[in-house]
Structure 1
Amino acid sequence: MNLIICSDRDPVRNRWQAALSGQHDIFHASVLRDLGILLREAQPDLLLLHRTMVDLETVGRLCRNMAHCRLFVLSDRPDNNEGLALLRLGVVGYANTYIAPARLQEAVRVILTGSVWVGQQLMAHLIRTSLGGGKGASGSPETAAGSRRDRILPELSDREFQIASLVAQGLTNPQIAHRLEITERTVKAHLSAIYAKTGTRGRLNLALLLHGTEQS
């Protein structure tokens, strides 16, 4: 896979390069003019773009013009409103500029499989915004879907179904851990099993499944 990393700061580009080197063919751009040339010549699969380089209008133009390249924006101070605005423009990834190397590797892998990558807080906000806070006419997903759970999600254990329902309400991993009085590591382990058993690829996909169950 061909990747472009674009930032006007050498330390930022070097940080991303170090995290992703050896896994992809990586091209660097430090100014938008060079980025334009690389987009035409390198035929990249993914562009990692530093938010400081562009305004929202430029992001929208890039998303419209990059037919075969996905756009992953990294911000020094990410916030939910900016993240939602970028997702609406067509961005498929949004994270902190200084995301941990292992998380950056995971984010790139997820995006290149066709999924969207955002942080937990934004994902929770997105679920609440898109699905009305995890509640429909029948109440919470856990209550409404419970009567149909054995028919639709029989493979989940009681604890897994409980955690899936809390995800569908927009809770983050730390919030779920606090609510259930378990460790965040245990929540992550359960989520891995839940994704595998349900064939979902992330929190939003899982939330949509649970809400679909609620409405069936």
Structure 2
Amino acid sequence: MNILCLNTDDAVWKHWNQVTSEQSSLVRAMAFDEVRKILEDTFLVFSYCFIYLEDSLLSEQVEEVVALSTDFPELKIIVFPNQLNQAASLTLFSAGVSGQCAPYIGKEQLSLVLSVVDSGEIWGGKAFIQQLIMQSVVPTEIQNDELEELSERELSVAQFISKGLSNKQIAKEMDITERTVKAHLTSIFKKTKTKDRLALALLAQSRYGVH
């Protein structure tokens, strides 16, 4: 498994090498231009792109990450901000970033994060993602015709997502298994052309609102 890492902090870089699995091969870049060059020129396929966000350059780096996500939509980007910033996080998740973690994340926690991202979910963790969903402002230009294609059960799942419920909570509300919720979400993402639960929540909110 190849992981492309933008990391200018030697201590954090050393930590990442310690907490990633032995099967992982980390490739270090020191600037966004270098990240782009590696993605465009190398024969390697990267499972993830880890990006360390510095406090002093946060706003510029957020813009760079958004551009990177737009240009390489299949790339699973996980950001590691030195300090949490809710506005920056909302911008990054809305742009398609797959996850956000502390720079000195533990080995078991990182393994969990990668497992969640692999399954098509986004990691923040759950409470933070739900808070983002609840506090997001719905863009007026969102089109919700795609929701017309959903089955009644899928519409119910979409409504619960718009309220910030987790898969476990949705399963309890609908009296179904979490596996069934995940199956519904896979179908919903495909039909609505959304890539994660935050995008789906914004789409569902544009039709149903949050009650």
TM-score for the superposition, normalised by structure 1:
0.59
Q: Does 1:22 align with 2:22?
A: yes
Comparing 95-104 and 82-91, the one that deviates more:
95-104
Q: Does 1:195 align with 2:197?
A: no
Q: Does 1:80 align with 2:90?
A: no
Q: Which has the higher helix share?
A: 1
* 2:28 partner SS: strand
The match for 2:3 is 3
Q: Does 1:56 align with 2:56?
A: no
Q: 1:75: how far off?
A: 0.5
User: Residue by residue, what CA displacement relative to the aligned partner does 1:46-71 show, whole Å, maximum 9, x if unpaired?
Assistant: 10001126522211210121143121
Distance in 2, Cα, partners of 1:36 & 1:74:
18
CA contact (8 A) 2:32 2:64 kept: no
Report the RMSD for the aligned CA atoms in angstroms: 3.9
Q: What runs of 5+ residues in structure 1 fail to find an aligned partner? A: 133-151, 153-164, 173-186
TM-score for the superposition, normalised by structure 2:
0.60
Distance in 2, Cα, partners of 1:128 & 1:106:
24
- Structure 1 residues 123, 6: CA separation in 2 closer, same or farther (over 3 Å shift)? same
* 2:26 partner SS: strand
Q: Does 1:123 align with 2:129?
A: yes
The match for 1:148 is none
Distance in 2, Cα, partners of 1:114 & 1:169:
19
The match for 2:36 is 36
CA contact (8 A) 1:2 1:24 kept: yes
CA contact (8 A) 2:99 2:124 kept: yes
The match for 2:13 is 13
Q: 1:19: how far off?
A: 1.1
Distance in 2, Cα, partners of 1:194 & 1:129:
28
Q: Does 1:99 align with 2:101?
A: no
Q: What runs of 5+ residues in structure 2 fail to find an aligned partner? A: 139-152, 154-159, 186-196
Distance in 2, Cα, partners of 1:128 & 1:36:
34
